[in-house]
Each structure stands twice: as structure tokens, then as C-alpha cells.
Amino acid sequence: MIIKEEFLSRLRKIFDLNLYEAKVWTALLSRGTSTAGELSNISDVPRSRTYDILESLEKKGFIVMKIGKPIKFVALKPEEVVERVKKNLVTEAQEKSKRLEKLRNDEVLEELNTLFTNGIKFVEPSDLSGSLRGRQNMYNHLDMMIRSAERSVTLVTTAEGLNRKLEILLPALEKAKKRGVTIRIAAPLNAGNVKIAKDFTKVAEVKSSHNLTARFCIVDSNQVMFMLLDDKSVHPNYDVAVWLSTEFFAKAMEQMFELAWKDFHPLSKVKG
């Protein structure tokens, strides 16, 4: 049985399978019911690995083992597989979340914090920097920066970026606001995002940056994160940002922002 590599690649990404799992599963789908030996021949997967692969697929909810001799395996409807995988993912995520939540008061977290605290003493301030790849990683780091803010958060983004950030960053911004952190947000405002901008006014002062195209965040005048690419022309997985923990550069960025902030349009002047 010949299955296109592109199709197998898509299956692997969608269902989080390895190559052998994708090959054996599609082979079984094409037969409905089959033995491990038959599937090995059809899928071109080594016989020594086929039983392990079938066991893995059974645990993940892709197939069912038929009782009897010889042992056979039955394919499930793809729609049923999708539902099972969804339920398994939710259950797994909930279990992992509970385990991580328990770490808050666990000695393991205390030991990890001790390692970090001791290790950070040997780090030069100039070494506290890094690059972030992928928009999800960037948002995770932005969220961390905002959660650690004590005095101020300055966020500059694009028109599309403002829409994305509401759901992702609003919880952290709300908590920062309650701590007394001053929050300012600037983005090109238009009919497509003015409603989102109004939602942000609950936690921040929002202005329209009209013709300015930029993506960066400054926290407490000592941390800065800026995005290197235009979000209109880059795929989220290939977006890139740089994070720096440097008071000198962060203050310089903030001083330049102050000059621009005075010329930005208040939200009340934007037509929705």
C-alpha cells in the first residue's frame, strides 16, 4: 500500500503520531480488520515494532484489539477516532494541570527555585537575553513579563496583534492592574479592532499609533522584548522576537516611546 508522504506528514501533525504509527493506522484503515503480520507487510513497518505500535494506537483510541486467535485488530471510524483523541487530550491536559498546580507547595519547586537563585548569581546582566521562536513562545514570555511587572507595562503592537492579545494577555494585565501597575497600549486602531481596544481600557490607557508599525513591550523600565518581523508577512510558527533584561536599553526605548505617545490619538477620536 502506497500512501503519500505529504498525507502521512499531515496525519502525524494533526494526531500527534510518529511515522510508524501513521503507517500502521492507515494500513489498518485500508483493511478494516487485520493481523499484526499482515499490517507489517502492508505498511512496510518492521515486524519487531508492529506489536508495540499497535499497542500504542490502541491506548490512544485509534483501534480495537479483537479477541481470538490469531489476534486481529479492528479499525474504528475516523470520526470516532477524532472524538476519542479529543477526549483523551482534554483528560491528559487536566491531569497534567493538576500535577503542576500541586507543585506550588511542593518541595520540588523549592529546590528548583534554589537552583535558579544560586545559578543566576553567576550570570552577567548582559547575558540575560535570548531569542524566542514561534508566536506561542513569544506570548508565553510576554505573559511572564507582565506577571512579574511591579511598576509599568508599555505594549506596542499592530492592528491585528491587538486582536490576538486580548484573549492571551488580558488575564495577566488584569492582575497587574490590581497590583497598581501602570499599563499603556498603543496600536493602529480601526473599525476592525476598536471594540477590542475598548475592552483593553478596563486595564490600560489605550491610544491609536496611526502610521507607526512596531511590536515591542517594555516592563518596569528594565526588560524589553521586541519582535523582528512584520506579523502580516510571517507565519506564526516562524515569528521571531528578542528579549533583553537591560535597564540602559529599556529606559532609552521608553524615552523614545514617551515622545511618540504624546502624538498618538486617544481612543475617543477613533471611529468605530
Q: Let me know if residue 24 belongs to a domain.
A: yes
Listed residues 67, 87, 107: the one ending a domain: 87
Query: What's the DSSP call for residue 70?
Result: S
pLDDT digits (tens, 9 = 90+) for 106-127: 877 777 777 767 765 655 555 5
Contact indicator for 35, 69 with CB cutoff of 8 Å = no
Residues in the chain, overall count: 272
d(CA 203, CA 184): 9
Q: Does 100 fall in a domain?
A: no
Question: Taking 80 as the threshold, does the pLDDT of residue 70 lie above it?
Answer: yes
The neighbouring-strand residues paired with 265 are 208
What CATH number does the domain containing 65 carry? 1.10.10.10
Q: Give 85-91's long-range contacts (Cβ < 8 A, gap of 24+).
A: 85/15, 85/60, 85/61, 87/61, 88/60, 88/61
Question: What average pLDDT does the segment 139-146 reach?
Answer: 93
> Which is more confidently placed, 106 or 55?
55
Beta strands at 205-208 and 216-219: parallel, antiparallel or unpaired? unpaired
Model confidence, pTM:
0.62
Q: Strands (DSSP E) along the chain, which ranges?
A: 33-35, 63-66, 72-75, 129-133, 152-156, 182-187, 205-208, 216-219, 223-227, 240-245, 265-266
Which of 33, 35, 26 is CA-nearest to residue 7? 26
Within-domain flag for 115: no
Indicate whether 66 and 136 sit together in one domain.
no
Residue 133 and residue 239 in one domain: yes
Q: How far apart are CA 83 and CA 101, in angstroms?
A: 27
Report which residue type is found at 24.
Answer: V
Q: Please give the pLDDT value at position 179.
A: 95
pLDDT at 199: 92
Q: What is the CATH number of the domain that holds 153?
A: 3.30.870.10
178-192 pLDDT, tens digit each: 999 999 999 999 888
- Pair (132, 248) in one structural domain: yes
Of 111-115, 122-126, 217-221, 231-235, the one with minimum mean pLDDT is 122-126
Percentage of residues of the chain with pLDDT beyond 90: 50
Higher pLDDT, 268 or 48: 48
Report DSSP state, residue 113: H
Are 146 and 179 spatial neighbours (Cβ–Cβ below 8 Å)?
no
Residue-number span of the structural domain to which 197 is assigned: 127-269
Which amino acid would we find at residue 242? V
